[in-house]
């Protein structure tokens, strides 16, 4: 005999389930990027300078389509524990999914005015060791080559 003592789902739960099923067909991050407007530009920047040994570095790689593609892949997918886009945003505007919880806000890579003040060597140091006093995480597991590819991709975002 079938027991008939199960309660029907509350309407809000049904709506939630439908919403979740629906969301799978969309790129949630792209929707988020559409809801949250682009980051401020020029952006206030309090990041400390990284040590001189990093600051004087120059990118040994060229902005070839392959290097841009590798940087893009790292930025959006490969970097652990959480890809750069979750903070810096799919478009690089600094308004990623996690940005609402962060102070200072992630750097707005799409802002030329702010980005032209940041040297390649400074970026290298921040990506490798993180930015002290902020949530920008260190990435000690990345090879130097991968860091330079990320920088090439970031420079593409500012164009």
CB of 87 to ligand HEC, least distance (A): 3
Taking CB under 6 A as the rule, does residue 45 contact ligand HEC? yes
- C-alpha torsion 143→129→124→58, nearest 10: -90
How many other C-beta atoms are found inside a 10 Å radius of the C-beta of residue 146?
A: 18
CB of 43 to ligand HEC, least distance (A): 8
- According to CB under 6 A, which one of 91, 108, 134, 149 is a site residue for ligand HEC? 134
Taking CB under 6 A as the rule, does residue 139 contact ligand HEC? yes
Taking CB under 6 A as the rule, does residue 122 contact ligand HEC? yes
User: Which residues 6+ apart lie within 8 Å of 33 measured at CB?
Assistant: 89, 90, 91, 93, 95
Could you give the C-alpha distances from 127 to 27, 62, 152, in angstroms and in order? 26, 18, 13
**Residues 65-104 interacting with ligand HEC (rule: CB under 6 A):** 79, 82, 84, 86-88, 98, 102, 104
Query: Rounded distance, CA 36 to CA 85, Å?
Result: 14
Catalog residues that contact ligand HEC under the rule CB under 6 A.
45-47, 79, 82, 84, 86-88, 98, 102, 104, 106-107, 118, 122-123, 126-127, 131, 134-137, 139, 150
């Amino acid at each position: 005999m079938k027991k008939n003592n199960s309660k029907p789902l509350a309407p809000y739960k049904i709506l939630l389930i439908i919403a979740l099923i629906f969301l799978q067909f969309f790129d949630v991050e792209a929707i988020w990027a559409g809801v949250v407007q682009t980051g401020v530009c020029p952006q206030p920047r309090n990041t400390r300078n990284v040590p001189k040994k990093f600051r004087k570095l120059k990118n040994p790689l060229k902005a070839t389509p392959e290097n841009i593609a590798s940087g893009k892949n790292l930025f959006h997918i490969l970097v652990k524990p959480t890809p750069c886009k979750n903070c810096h945003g799919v478009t690089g505007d600094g308004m990623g999914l996690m940005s609402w919880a962060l102070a200072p806000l992630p750097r707005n890579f799409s802002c030329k005015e702010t980005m032209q003040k940041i040297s390649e060597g400074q970026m290298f140091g921040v990506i490798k060791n993180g930015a002290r006093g902020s949530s920008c995480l260190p990435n000690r597991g990345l090879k130097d080559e991968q860091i330079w590819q990320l920088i090439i991709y970031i420079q593409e975002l500012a164009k």
